[in-house]
């Protein structure tokens, strides 16, 4: 089995949407990525940090999902990273109410020996210095996938560019792609970002789907139109987990197979938003995912025979 190494936050989230409000629940980029990737046949590990306030039941949940946690540092007397946000009525925009870095502030990632030869490395959204440290600890992975956000472009762009130079795939949202490239057209933005390093550029457009660019080739996966979006938290990370999990299972990083990985990423993300936090991802099995794949097919596939 391929090895998938995931670095990212493991956190507490407090979320408010028009549908309700949670106390501190399990969250974090690595958590969503890991739970999503767990739907595929691969050996995965999370490199992250939590405080000793992080409950054993969350650890158990991740382990039940076959996620290796040797690289999850537990800081005695430390508090776990905490994020709190409130979504607007349209569910597309949100305000951050509180961010407490806590143990994340001094995090020095340590990649477990058994994952230094990971086939795929998924760098979840984190300080670029942490991402760079992980890149420097692994030994020629087949594929490095980077997720990042505008905050790092605003505060530590040079270091971020150093990371971007070293990765194969970058996933960012449309606004971030425009900010990073200085181009409004996503086609132009993707080309400029690709020249910074990554051969593959994935632009996430939330409810409007995701675009994959590679040279002059493009692929698009829609988001599945849903009756109700309950909580969008973690959808982008779940997408990344489905994308990398599928690539790890199939051991094929061709553009053609990346199309499928993008579809699986969108597929998994469509589940994530149906309940609060990681709730839906905890109960998901591959059968439900494959059933939903049929919906993606009927949503997008057509037969035109030119006359």
Write out the residues near a second copy by the rule CB under 8 A: 89-90, 184-188, 205, 208-209, 211, 217-220, 222, 225-229, 256, 259-260, 263, 290, 293, 297-304, 306
Cβ at position 174, least distance to a second copy in Å: 10
Phi and psi at 5, nearest 5°, equal -100, 125
Report the greatest alpha carbon distance in the chain: 72
Cβ at position 195, least distance to a second copy in Å: 15
Structure token digits, residue 143: 């594929």
Of residues 97 and 299, the one with the C-beta less far from a second copy = 299
Of residues 55 and 222, the one with the C-beta less far from a second copy = 222
Cα-Cα-Cα-Cα torsion 246, 248, 256, 191, nearest 10 degrees, comes to 100
Q: Using CA atoms, how far apart are residues 294 and 289, in angstroms rounded to an integer? A: 9
Of residues 116 and 188, the one with the C-beta less far from a second copy = 188
Cβ at position 263, least distance to a second copy in Å: 6
Of residues 105 and 187, the one with the C-beta less far from a second copy = 187
Structure token digits, residue 43: 């050996």
Cβ at position 275, least distance to a second copy in Å: 16
Q: Which of 227, 223, 242 is nearest to 281 (CA)?
A: 242
List, in sequence order, every residue forming a beta bridge with 17; answer none if it has no partner.
20
Of residues 83 and 264, the one with the C-beta less far from a second copy = 264
Of residues 136 and 290, the one with the C-beta less far from a second copy = 290
Cβ at position 241, least distance to a second copy in Å: 17
Of residues 33 and 211, the one with the C-beta less far from a second copy = 211
Q: How long is the chain?
A: 307
Contact predicate 267/242, CB 8 Å: yes
In the chain the beta strands, taken as DSSP E runs, fall at: 3-7, 11-17, 20-21, 25-27, 43-51, 67-68, 72-75, 82-87, 94-100, 120-123, 143-147, 169-173, 200-204, 210-214, 217-221
Q: Using CA atoms, how far apart are residues 7 and 27, in angstroms rounded to an integer? A: 14
Cβ at position 25, least distance to a second copy in Å: 24
Contact predicate 17/42, CB 8 Å: no
Cβ at position 18, least distance to a second copy in Å: 9
Cβ at position 147, least distance to a second copy in Å: 21
Q: Using CA atoms, how far apart are residues 87 and 96, in angstroms rounded to an integer? A: 9
Phi and psi at 158, nearest 5°, equal -60, -45
Of residues 93 and 290, the one with the C-beta less far from a second copy = 290
């Amino acid at each position: 089995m391929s090895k998938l190494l995931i670095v990212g936050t493991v956190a507490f989230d407090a979320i408010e949407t028009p549908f309700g409000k949670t106390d501190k629940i399990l969250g974090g980029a690595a958590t969503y990525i890991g739970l999503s990737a767990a739907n595929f046949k691969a050996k995965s590990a999370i490199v992250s940090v939590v405080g000793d306030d992080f409950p054993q039941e969350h650890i158990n949940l991740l382990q039940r999902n076959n996620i290796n946690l040797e690289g999850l540092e537990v800081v005695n007397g430390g508090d776990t990273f905490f994020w709190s946000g409130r979504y607007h009525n349209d569910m597309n925009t949100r305000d951050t109410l509180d961010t407490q870095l806590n143990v994340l502030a001094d995090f020095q990632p340590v990649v477990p020996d058994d994952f230094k030869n990971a086939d795929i490395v998924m760098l979840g959204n984190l300080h670029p210095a942490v991402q760079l440290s992980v890149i420097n600890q692994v030994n020629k992975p087949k594929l490095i996938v980077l997720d990042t956000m505008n905050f790092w472009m605003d505060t530590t762009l040079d270091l971020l560019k150093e990371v971007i130079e070293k990765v194969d795939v970058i996933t960012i949202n449309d606004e971030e792609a425009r900010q990073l490239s200085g181009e409004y057209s996503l086609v132009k933005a993707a080309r400029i970002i690709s020249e910074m390093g990554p051969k593959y550029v994935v632009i996430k457009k939330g409810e409007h789907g995701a675009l994959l660019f590679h040279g002059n080739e493009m692929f698009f996966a829609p988001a599945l139109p849903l009756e109700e979006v309950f909580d969008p938290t973690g959808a982008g990370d779940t997408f990344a987990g489905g994308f990398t999990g599928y690539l790890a299972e199939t051991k094929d990083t061709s553009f053609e197979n990346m199309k499928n990985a993008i579809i699986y990423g969108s597929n998994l993300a469509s589940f994530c938003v149906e309940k609060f936090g990681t709730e839906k991802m905890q109960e998901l099995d591959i059968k439900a995912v494959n059933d939903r794949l049929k919906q993606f097919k009927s949503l997008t596939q057509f037969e035109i025979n030119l006359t």
